[in-house]
Structure 1
Amino acid sequence: MTSADLHTALLRPAVLQILRAAGFGHARPVVIDTATDLAARYFLLLASSTAQNAFNTHNTFVPTIQDVRLALTQAGALVPQMSTAEEGLRDAVEIEGVMVPFEDLRGVQGFVTWAQGPVNKEIRRIAGFGDDANVEEIAAGLDEQEDYLTALKKKHSKTGEESRYQGTILGKDTELQTVSIIGGPAASIAEWTQQSLSTAQTATLPDADEPATPATSGISSAPLTPIESE
């Protein structure tokens, strides 16, 4: 399975839950695949635009919230929204006694209201978060309620998530264990590797007291044969 197939397989259940929350009870597999592909392409567009905005703004691919906001604006998710040039023409505003440049936040506020509003109430319920769920705690990973993916993993794991999914993309990373060598020249593989590299480097270094011998080719070092004249 390639990484693209794995990511599609992980995104497909989320798309199914969203369609279910929107009121769809049945769909052909090709429709589900198409909706999943569209969602993946949209996320890829947002991610690539965010990375490009970060590089153009501060010469690094580590994004900030401003880079994400600009990517959402470019994708048409934040409307109505002024452009950066239009915002620059507006006068600065005073916030808590400090003058800051004007920012059009209507699109951001509308997006937050839509995400937290009653439109997505059923999606939050399907995902495992009730009406009392705190959106900020969910985003920070501090909410105690389990989402549907965590509940699904526990349902299909009889031995527990730690043992079945450890070392995979669905679980925690595997902790590297030190391999000890008993009766060998070194106590561990890492120490043996370091000793081998040091020995190899020492063997290739020339002796400081030995005079350097100029390199000669095989032809120049061969004995000369006199040419006899007839």
Structure 2
Amino acid sequence: MTSDDLHTALLRPAVIQILRAAGFGYARPAVIDSLADLAARYMIMLASSTAQNAFTLHNTPVPTIQDVRLALSQSGALTPQMSTAEEGLRDAVEVEGVMVPYEDLRGVEGFVNWAQGPVNKEIRRVAGFGDDVNVEEIATGLDDQEDYLSALKTKHSKTGEESRYQGTVLGKESEVQSVTIVGGPATSIAEWTQKSLSASAKNNAWPPEAMSPATSGISSAPLTPLESE
């Protein structure tokens, strides 16, 4: 299975749950695949725009919330929203006794109200997050409610442990085990690699150790005077 197939397989349950929350009782596989493809393309576009904003604005591969917000604005998800030039024409505002540049937050507030509003109430319930959820706890990973994917993994795991998912994208990373070489010139692959690199560098050194400048064939050869024809 390729990475694209795996990501599509992981995205399809989320799309199905969203359709279910929206009131659809059934859908053709082609419809689900098309919606999953659209969702994947949209998230890739947001991720690419966020990464580009991070490199452009502060030359780092680690994005900030401002980079995500700008990507949402560029994709048209935050409306209405003023441009940076339009915000600069507005007077500064006072926030907690400090004058700060004017910032148009209508689009952000509208997006948050839409995500937390009654329109997505059923989606939040299906996902395992009720109305009493703390958004900040979810963002920091401190929320103790279980989402549907974790519940689904627990349901299909006979032991209820994460061991069957270890080393996959759904579980923890596998621990690297050291390999011991018995009866060889080295006790580990790392030691064998180091010895091989050292031997290669020694053999490729110039001048070779077996031929010093004083005893080399070139320096000990008799000099023949050049005669003009």
Same fold (TM over 0.5): yes
- Aligned partner of 1:117 in structure 2 is 117
Aligned residue pair count: 214
The separation in 2 between residues aligned to 1:130 and 1:55, in whole angstroms, is 37
Q: CA deviation at 1:61?
A: 3.3
Other structure's SS at 1:103 match: coil
- Aligned partner of 2:180 in structure 1 is 180
- Aligned partner of 1:221 in structure 2 is none
- Aligned partner of 2:72 in structure 1 is 72
The separation in 1 between residues aligned to 2:93 and 2:2, in whole angstroms, is 51
1:210 to 209, 212, 219: 212
Q: CA deviation at 1:198?
A: 1.2
Regions of 4+ moved over 3 Å: none
Q: Greater CA deviation, 178-187 or 37-46?
A: 178-187
Contact 1:116 1:135 in 2 (8 A): no
Q: Is 2:106 aligned against 1:106?
A: yes
- Aligned partner of 2:44 in structure 1 is 44
Give the alignment's TM-score, normalised by structure 2.
Answer: 0.86
The separation in 2 between residues aligned to 1:185 and 1:18, in whole angstroms, is 60
Q: Is 2:6 aligned against 1:2?
A: no
Q: CA deviation at 1:4?
A: 1.4
Give, as a single letter, the amino acid of the residue that structure 1 aligns with 2:12: R
- Aligned partner of 2:224 in structure 1 is none
Give the alignment's TM-score, normalised by structure 1.
Answer: 0.86
Q: CA deviation at 1:161?
A: 4.1
The separation in 2 between residues aligned to 1:161 and 1:12, in whole angstroms, is 24
Q: CA deviation at 1:180?
A: 1.9
The separation in 2 between residues aligned to 1:193 and 1:59, in whole angstroms, is 36
- Aligned partner of 2:150 in structure 1 is 150
1:48-107 CA-partner distances (Å, limit 9, x unpaired): 111222222223332211111111111111111111110010111122222211100111
Contact 1:53 1:71 in 2 (8 A): yes
Give, as a single letter, the amino acid of the residue that structure 2 aligns with 1:162: E
Other structure's SS at 2:99 match: strand
Matches within 5 A, 1:130-145: 130-145=130-145
The separation in 2 between residues aligned to 1:183 and 1:207, in whole angstroms, is 30
The separation in 2 between residues aligned to 1:82 and 1:131, in whole angstroms, is 31
Other structure's SS at 1:90 match: coil
Gaps of 5+ in 1: 215-230
Q: Greater CA deviation, 57-66 or 104-113?
A: 57-66
Q: CA deviation at 1:42?
A: 1.1
Matches within 5 A, 1:59-98: 59-98=59-98
- Aligned partner of 1:170 in structure 2 is 170
Q: Greater CA deviation, 5-14 or 56-65?
A: 56-65
The separation in 2 between residues aligned to 1:100 and 1:173, in whole angstroms, is 44
Gaps of 5+ in 2: 219-229
Q: CA deviation at 1:13?
A: 0.5
Q: CA deviation at 1:33?
A: 1.1
Q: CA deviation at 1:46?
A: 0.9
Q: CA deviation at 1:119?
A: 1.8
The separation in 2 between residues aligned to 1:160 and 1:93, in whole angstroms, is 54
Other structure's SS at 1:94 match: strand
After superposition, the CA RMSD in angstroms is 1.8
Q: CA deviation at 1:131?
A: 2.6
Percentage of identical aligned residues: 78
